Amino acid sequence: MKRLLSGITPTGELHIGHYIGAITHFIEMQKSYESFVFVADLHSLTVNPDPKELKENIRKMVGVYLACGLDPKQTCLFNQSENIYHPMLSWALECNSYMGELSRMTQYKEKSQNKQSESVTCGLFTYPVLMASDILIYDADVVPVGGDQKQHVELTRNIAERFNNKYGTTFKIPNPVIAESGARIMDLQNPNKKMSKSDENPKGVIFLLEDIQKARKKIMSAVTDSDNVIKYDVANKPGISNLITIYSCLTNENIDNVEEAFANASYGEFKTKVADEVEKLLQNIQTKYNEIIKGDYIDNVLDEGLKRAEKIAKEKAYDVYKKLGVGRY
């Protein structure tokens, strides 16, 4: 069975962009891949989050993954920071990666833009190398990610190939898997910008655990255009195209069918239908989440996941250190 690996950083609440762009793919693919999905809590440290909030977010995130349908029997679920072999491999790979290639990473450029270099952490810069370690340590075949993370997986491939050439075959070369639709759900208030948990304006973001009536209002007040035609045209009609994408992903209808079904509808009518779908989704997730979060179910899942993940990761990290000639591995 081929191996799948992916992670999400717990620097805020999960939103429907995560659900559509990432979680649904993990759930679909867990049936046919040996899956490893983790909370990338070490990655979230790159922006120095509040420790108390981070702790809560990690637990919430695992609860939401499970509530969305991730099955611990099929998917090995764990916290990245508890598996010490990830940073162990990351140091070795940092010493085989170059400032030049890391400074070309779009996410780094965007996140460090307009900031004094004194306030940009080294972790933000080396973030993609830790991500490469997460992937390579499990010999992952596929890495499902949103479109914005593709470049990091490509860098991972380069790092792996370079290492294999220099020290002998060690790593499998992974493939990114980018969903065709829904890879970029946009902000409801500014549809030219990705929906993001770090957004200053929460009106543009639908959080999976938020009050359902509030979520409905956000859909109803989503920014659109004034020509009242429900047509998918990202360049000229980004707001309505984003709502079409959300509707299409939540109902599994293709975009042409959605356009046809709503050819004579007003924006208000269409938004109500989108809000109904969002309501159904949130209701379902929240009911399950409220059950899961009680007791020690989450801890048991994470303990089991960590045990499995550690065994595989340790072997690879030791192999790499041995090849590099450090210690007595």
Q: Which residues bind ligand ATP (CB under 6 A)?
A: 8-9, 11, 17-18, 20-22, 145-146, 148-149, 183-185, 194-198
Residue whose CB is less far from ligand ATP, 239 or 320? 239
Residue 275 binding partner per list ligand ATP, ligand LTN, none, with a CB distance cut-off of 5 to 8 Å that depends on partner kind:
none
Residue whose CB is less far from ligand ATP, 240 or 317? 240
- Stretch binding ligand LTN (CB under 6 A), from 2-10, 108-116, 220-228, 269-277: 2-10
Closest CA to 324 of 172, 174, 173, 170: 170
Q: Which residues from 27-56 bind ligand LTN, rule CB under 6 A?
A: 40, 43
**Residue 190 · residue 204 · CB < 8 Å:** yes
166 is catalytic: no
User: Using the rule CB under 6 A, is 155 a contact of ligand LTN?
Assistant: no
Residue 198 binding partner per list ligand LTN, ligand ATP, none, with a CB distance cut-off of 5 to 8 Å that depends on partner kind:
ligand ATP
Structure tokens at 95: 């010493």
User: Using the rule CB under 6 A, is 5 a contact of ligand LTN?
Assistant: yes
**Residue 39 · residue 56 · CB < 8 Å:** no
Residue whose CB is less far from ligand LTN, 171 or 247? 171
**Residue 45 · residue 80 · CB < 8 Å:** no
- Given 45, 70, 135, 230, the residue binding ligand LTN (CB under 6 A): 135
111 is catalytic: yes
Distance between CA atoms of 207 and 223, rounded to whole angstroms? 18
Per-residue b or e along 104-115, where b marks 16 or more CB atoms closer than 10 Å to that residue's CB? ebeebeebbeee
Q: What is the DSSP letter of 118?
A: G
**Residue 182 · residue 21 · CB < 8 Å:** yes
Residue whose CB is less far from ligand ATP, 20 or 209? 20
Residue 137 binding partner per list ligand LTN, ligand ATP, none, with a CB distance cut-off of 5 to 8 Å that depends on partner kind:
none
Separate counts of helices (H) and strands (E) for the chain: 14, 5
273 is catalytic: no
Report the nearest approach of ligand ATP to the CB of residue 196 (Å).
Answer: 3
User: Using the rule CB under 6 A, is 131 a contact of ligand LTN?
Assistant: yes
Query: What is the widest separation between alpha-carbon atoms in the chain?
Result: 72
Q: Which residues contact 105 (CB under 8 A, 6 or more apart)?
A: 127, 128, 151, 152, 155
Which residue type, as a one-letter code, is found at position 137?
I
Q: Which residues contact 83 (CB under 8 A, 6 or more apart)?
A: 38, 306, 309, 310, 313
Distance between CA atoms of 33 and 63, rounded to whole angstroms? 22
- Stretch binding ligand LTN (CB under 6 A), from 143-151, 185-193, 262-270, 271-279: 143-151
Residue 189 binding partner per list ligand ATP, ligand LTN, none, with a CB distance cut-off of 5 to 8 Å that depends on partner kind:
none
Name the site residues for ligand LTN (rule: CB under 6 A). 5-9, 40, 43, 131, 134-135, 143, 145, 149
* Residues noted as catalytic: 111, 194, 197
